[in-house]
């Protein structure tokens, strides 16, 4: 196991394994994907980060290389998970479109969010190196191309095109940083 894998594994060990909602956040600390887990947040996030049984990784919606932080909002009751996911998704998707693809639009009333747990899943030195536009822009262009190819050759679906649009908006930001 490489040092990076060891670091990620140890960091994930500190993440709650309660049920609840989580956000995968990029190198800038910006959420790019919001999900839920009714069988344990740590277990679900670990599957995302190792590409094991994770559709958003398999269909190229998310590049694991870009994920530096995980935020988690554990809850006590299973019935609280979906309303919280809807609220968290809508909040962060309004700031910057998420890579989820599907849009969560359940009713969001006045919902108190539980305390957020934050875990950094890559070493800070690696995160700072990856922020270099000369590394980040080509990597994200490649990820964009992978998603376009997936849409053209495997599945042409609205939720994937929504994710592609979110990628494009981020790509424009990276392009400007590169210049």
Question: Is the CB of residue 59 less than 8 Å from the CB of residue 154?
Answer: yes
Using CA atoms, how far apart are residues 24 and 33, in angstroms rounded to an integer?
5
Using CA atoms, how far apart are residues 119 and 102, in angstroms rounded to an integer?
25
Q: Which CATH architecture has domain 3-178?
A: 3-Layer(aba) Sandwich (3.40)
Sequence spans of domains, the chain: 3-178
Using CA atoms, how far apart are residues 159 and 139, in angstroms rounded to an integer?
22
Q: Answer whether residue 1 shows pLDDT above 80.
A: no
3-state secondary structure at position 118: strand
Taking only the tens place, the pLDDT of each residue in 89-121 is: 999 999 999 998 776 666 666 688 999 999 999
72: β partners: 22, 117
| 55 or 152: which leads in pLDDT | 152
| 32 or 52: which leads in pLDDT | 32
Using CA atoms, how far apart are residues 71 and 88, in angstroms rounded to an integer?
11
pLDDT score for 104: 63
pLDDT score for 2: 78
């Amino acid at each position: 196991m490489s040092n990076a894998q060891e670091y990620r594994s140890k960091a994930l060990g500190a993440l709650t394994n309660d049920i609840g909602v989580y956000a995968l956040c990029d190198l800038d600390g910006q959420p790019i994907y919001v999900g839920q887990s009714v069988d344990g947040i740590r277990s679900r996030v670990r599957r995302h980060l190792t590409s094991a049984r994770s559709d958003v990784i398999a269909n190229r919606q998310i590049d694991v290389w870009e994920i530096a932080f995980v935020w988690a909002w554990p809850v006590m009751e299973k019935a609280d998970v979906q309303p919280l996911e809807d609220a968290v998704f809508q909040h962060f998707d309004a700031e910057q479109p998420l890579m989820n693809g599907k849009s969560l639009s359940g009713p969001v009333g006045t919902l108190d969010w539980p305390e957020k747990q934050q875990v950094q899943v890559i070493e800070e030195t690696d995160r700072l190196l990856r922020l270099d536009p000369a590394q980040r822009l080509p990597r994200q262009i490649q990820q964009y191309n992978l998603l376009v190819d997936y849409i053209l050759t495997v599945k042409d679906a609205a939720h994937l095109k929504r994710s592609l649009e979110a990628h494009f908006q981020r790509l424009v930001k990276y392009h400007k940083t590169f210049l």
